[in-house]
Amino acid sequence: MFLSYSLYQLNGLSISLFDRKICQQHLQECLQKCLTCYEEIDATEDGNYKIQNRIVIEAVYLLFNINDFNALQHTLKLDSKLKSSFTLKTAINIAISFHQKNFHKLLHDIQNLPHLVGAIGSLNLSSIRKEVFRIFSIAYNSQSLKVPLEFLQRLLIYDEMSSLIRHIYDLGIYKKEDGGNEITAVVFNRKNFDCSKTISNTSQHFVDQKLCDFHLPDLILMKTI
């Protein structure tokens, strides 16, 4: 869980301070090894492990691999006593919403995830927000239709308006020559949207607040879940 916490907290740092790809690789390897161990224990019919710990690991694995349909299939094949837990059930619903492109439901459910599961889930927000912006650039492609920034901030669960404004600049949705520095709404234009650009992850208040409720060493060592 240390890698999960590091990936969330250090994600925005420069590569000279934190190599995100290496951390992701190590986290993936650790998650896969851990799940293999659980399956081997299950095969012995011993089942000598804390169910709640496995639920958290399974949820983190699913959300960390939300783009991979195989990860969802793996989770759906788990025993009902695991899938019926609030944490894993919520993670499954989020993954299903992702593949169905039901981003409104996803963005609602993701705020209900606990501690480090929510931290890993929130790392998907940058790609989800970009996809929503892309869809809006097609669906609301009209010079006469203005979409208020306050609506976008609520919909895409931005804590800070400044982060939203930075992202719409980064993706070419809005340019300074379109209306100066005072922005209250945007006009989407499919020709302006730059698919080649990426937007940064931002820390989320709903995650930080939940992490503060735990003694961090105990959470990382899974003594308190």
pLDDT in tens, the chain (225 residues): 899 999 999 988 888 899 989 999 999 999 999 999 998 888 886 666 789 999 999 999 999 999 999 999 999 999 999 999 999 999 999 999 999 999 999 999 999 999 999 999 999 999 999 999 999 999 999 888 999 999 999 999 999 999 999 999 999 998 655 555 578 899 999 999 999 998 988 889 999 999 888 888 888 888 776
Write out the H or E segment, with its range, that includes residue 147: strand 147-148
- Which pLDDT does position 170 carry in this prediction? 93
Beta bridge mates, 147: 186
Please name the residues in contact with 166: beta carbons below 8 A apart, sequence gap of 6 or more: none
Nearest to 136 by CA among 122, 150, 152, 123: 152
Beta bridge mates, 185: 148
- Which pLDDT does position 128 carry in this prediction? 97
pTM, 2 dp: 0.90
- Which pLDDT does position 14 carry in this prediction? 85
Sequence letter at residue 206 = F
Domain segments of the chain as ranges = 2-123+202-220, 126-186
Q: How many residues does the chain have?
A: 225
Largest CA distance in the chain: 66
- Which pLDDT does position 47 carry in this prediction? 65
Residues 73 and 164: their CA atoms lie apart, in Å, by 34
